[in-house]
Chains A and B, each alone.
Chain A
Amino acid sequence: AQSVAQPEDQVNVAEGNPLTVKCTYSVSGNPYLFWYVQYPNRGLQFLLKYITGDNLVKGSYGFEAEFNKSQTSFHLKKPSALVSDSALYFCAVRDDNAGNMLTFGGGTRLMVKP
């Protein structure tokens, strides 16, 4: 079975500071990893994904994520946070042995303060 953990319910960061939102996963096969962002009363917006290759993945709006196979992690990062980055962030995984089901973590609320 595949699973995702986002250990922090909320992350607080000052505008201009770097941010990290943590994600760890568990799969039986090879993982396909995704990050999505959700603004209030909206659906999910795709940020980036890791399929294979370079462990550092760059995505939309200046976000990037680092795949670490030994630590089974896929943390989301941004060098300089903006107030407009405040939202709910979801990490998701698909196992190449487990069909097409996308499994999401519980979400992390990012609060960026001016």
Chain B
Amino acid sequence: DAGVTQSPTHLIKTRGQQVTLRCSPISGHKSVSWYQQVLGQGPQFIFQYYEKEERGRGNFPDRFSARQFPNYSSELNVNALLLGDSALYLCASSLAGLEQETQYFGPGTRLLVL
């Protein structure tokens, strides 16, 4: 079975630009979460979606937005990029987004902002 997939794998942008990252969950999983992992740190929660609705939001500015589609795939958008947005962006999926469920992570998208 395919795991969580993310695209693109790498991305280089300049300050002020906008970026869209994509994620496809494991087949049968209806919840997707997004995390930001800055080099040398643990992942930080950005968003969780379940059945196309936002279930949770971390402490990130409004420049960060996301959505989930009817096929449960998801996009993360970041506007007005800053140098500090350079990070590995991880997507994770779970069956229904419940607290006790395991989240399975994709390989990530590495974003570099110049």
A residues at B contact (CB < 8 Å): 4, 32, 34, 36, 42-46, 49, 51, 90, 92, 94-96, 99-107
Contacts and interface: CB of A to CB of B under 8 A. Distances in A.
Interface in B27-84: 33, 35, 41-45, 48, 55-56, 58
Interface in B56-114: 56, 58, 90, 92, 97-100, 102-108
A103 B99 contact: no
Interface of B: 4, 33, 35, 41-45, 48, 55-56, 58, 90, 92, 97-100, 102-108
A90 B48 CA distance: 20
Dominant secondary structure at the A interface: strand
Given A32-B100, A44-B90, A99-B56, A104 B106 contact: no
Contacts, number: 62
Contacts of A4: 42
6 contacts: A32-B99, A42-B108, A92-B42, A100-B33, A104-B42, A107-B42
